Structure 1
Amino acid sequence: MEWILLVLIGLFAGALGSLVGLGGGVIIVPALVFFGGYTALLDDLGPQVAVGTSLIIMIFTGLSSTLSYIKHKTVDYKSGLLFFIGAGPGSIIGAVANKSFSMESFNLYFGFFMILVSFILMIRNKIKPIETFKQSSYQRSFTDASGREFSYGFPPVLGVAIAFFVGFTSGLFGIGGGSLMVPAMILVFLFPPHVAVATSMFMVFLSALVSSATHIYLGNINWLYALAIIPGAWFGAKGGAYLNSKLQSGALVNILRIILVLIGIRLVYQGFTG
């Protein structure tokens, strides 16, 4: 039963992560921590192993969804590689910093972070994009399937700085980083939403390669759990990428943010009560 549960966690996380560009770690990490206290299979799963294992899975989630988005020609490779200049080192530092967490402190900080992510998801469609960087030094354009053209851009230094912070949180919490990067790309840099999600998943893939390598070096991977979750995450990510091209993800985002708030509150409570 536990193995079926792991496959379903991967499927759900991969689909939602790919659909809205989160990466899926916001589902996998709390699921591993939560079920670790209730099943013999996941018993004694510490925060380092939960995060390291999640990042291994993010490699496959990111790759699967990126390959799907490539078919729809919505991945901005140049911007993604530029962001990776910051996200790569940030994810390594975050992975190293993760080793200082106890279960209580991890629950507390990760719980607050989940609530923050939920808040960002709640307001990201209500805030108007900032026009400041529309004529910045680095300019890009995108034409969607209907022929509508979008112009967007950002100062490279600022983009790398934001990506560094996103990479740090990815290595620290095992969440992929898209939960912060997608809103930044849409609201600050005026990325078209579909391009932001696709490019975020490309960056999630690259960052997960680096941060998971660090966690492998630190011995923070449970390969058995990873192998059980990866198949579901792979096919879930493909399904999420397909849905992203076909429908508005607003309803699912609303459901997701409610789930994240509840999980966040529970983790904060556990962090305070020990």
Structure 2
Amino acid sequence: MEITMGILLLFIGFFSGAYGIIVGAGGGFIFVPALLILFNLSPQVAAGTGLTVVLLNALSGVVGYVRQKRIDYHLGFTLSIGAVPGTFLGVLLAKIIPSQSFYWIFATLLVALGVFLLLKKEPKSKAETAVSMDDIATRGKDSVSLNGDQAKDTKNPSHEEKKEIKTKILILFTGVLLGTVSSFFGIGGGWLMVPILVYLFRVIPRYATATSIFALCLYSLVGVVIYLFQGNIYWTAVLWGGLGVITGAQIGVYLSNRISGKMIIQMLSILLIGVGIKLFFN
């Protein structure tokens, strides 16, 4: 790789690292399209390389979020448990689906989600039902319920237990979806996880992004190990891009605490649409 390309990847990594941490998606959804466009890598190698960079990005960013106490650990662990089997499925799909189909599926998914987020209004009850920072930091073993609060029904314990079980099952299946999409495209599942946490589980965006990055650290590692054994990681790109995303992640953590939830969602939607359109013409 030429030094100029290395420096370019460094800057791309820095930008994608900062932006990815702010929106809770990891930097893969910028970095992987860059690999596909600039280096004409196969989808498998681009996915493996991108997922490795996502892991570095998430590990760097999660340190800052731990200090800010913005992570719902129970929710993150539960999502990751479901994501592990999904990760194996995603890697398998990446091997058998043709490259052209990969591009079209990837681009369509990005644009569709971006448009949805751009047009979707925040839930009206969000201010009343969203989980506060203290709840997220201290909840411990309690699960997020579908309406965003801890499930409490002292008059009917059986109803409470059923509701909690249904919620956990939903979170696990969400994790399977995220793991599959993450390892298939190599971009991490945060760009899909954040909207799900915000609109389905009523988690405040700034806490949803932190929890998303935490979960990425756990389940993306599984995908990286699989791609490593397959020999589908371009290590030179990981080196240059990794230096960028690690640095950019710290900037992203700093800025994310100063940006409104609405702006975070808007930033995510605009970038998804832009990257998706670019891939359509690749």
Class of the TM-score when normalised by the shorter of the 2 chains: 0.7 to 0.9
2:134 aligned to which of 143, 166, 169: 143
Equivalent position amino acid for 2:197 in 1: M
Instruction: Find the residue that maps to 2:149 and give its secondary structure.
Output: strand
Q: What's the TM-score once normalised by structure 1's chain length?
A: 0.84
TM-fit CA distance, 1:130: 7.7
Q: Does the CA-based 8 Å contact 1:120-1:183 persist in structure 2?
A: no
Alpha-carbon distance in structure 1 between the residues aligned to 2:68 and 2:267:
26
TM-fit CA distance, 1:259: 4.1
TM-fit CA distance, 1:152: 5.1
TM-fit CA distance, 1:203: 0.6
* 1:69 aligns to 2:65 (yes or no): yes
* 1:199 aligns to 2:190 (yes or no): no
Q: Give the match for residue 227 of structure 1.
A: 239
Alpha-carbon distance in structure 1 between the residues aligned to 2:117 and 2:91:
25
Equivalent position amino acid for 2:45 in 1: V
Deviation per CA, 1:168-218: give whole Å up to 9, x if none: 100101111011111111111111222111000001111110111111122
TM-fit CA distance, 1:104: 1.6
Equivalent position amino acid for 2:183 in 1: G
Q: Give the match for residue 117 of structure 1.
A: 113
Gap runs ≥5 in structure 1: 37-43, 135-139, 145-149
**RMSD between aligned residues:** 2.3
Gap runs ≥5 in structure 2: 136-147, 152-163
1:24-39 matched pairs, under 5 angstroms = 24-36=27-39
Instruction: Find the residue that maps to 1:211 and give its secondary structure.
Output: helix
Alpha-carbon distance in structure 2 between the residues aligned to 1:249 and 1:98:
33
Q: Give the match for residue 8 of structure 1.
A: 11
* 1:245 aligns to 2:260 (yes or no): no
Q: Give the match for residue 181 of structure 1.
A: 193
Q: Greater shift after overlay, 5-14 or 103-112? A: 103-112
Using the aligned pairs only, state the percent identity: 35
Equivalent position amino acid for 1:143 in 2: D
Instruction: Find the residue that maps to 1:151 and give its secondary structure.
Output: coil
Q: Does the CA-based 8 Å contact 2:25-2:189 persist in structure 1?
A: yes
Equivalent position amino acid for 1:3 in 2: G
2:123 aligned to which of 119, 128, 138: 128
Alpha-carbon distance in structure 2 between the residues aligned to 1:249 and 1:190:
12
Q: Does the CA-based 8 Å contact 1:86-1:164 persist in structure 2?
A: yes
* 1:23 aligns to 2:26 (yes or no): yes
Please list every run of at least 4 consecutive aligned residues from structure 1 whose deviation after the TM superposition is greater than 6 angstroms.
Answer: none
TM-fit CA distance, 1:119: 2.0
Alpha-carbon distance in structure 2 between the residues aligned to 1:228 and 1:106:
25
Instruction: Find the residue that maps to 2:273 and give its secondary structure.
Output: helix
Change (3 A) 1:188 1:77: same
Aligned length in residues: 251
TM-fit CA distance, 1:141: 6.1
Q: What's the TM-score once normalised by structure 2's chain length?
A: 0.82
Deviation per CA, 1:141-173: give whole Å up to 9, x if none: 6428xxxxx835671000110111011100101
Q: Does the CA-based 8 Å contact 1:141-1:151 persist in structure 2?
A: no
Instruction: Find the residue that maps to 1:45 and give its secondary structure.
Output: coil
Alpha-carbon distance in structure 1 between the residues aligned to 2:125 and 2:261:
22
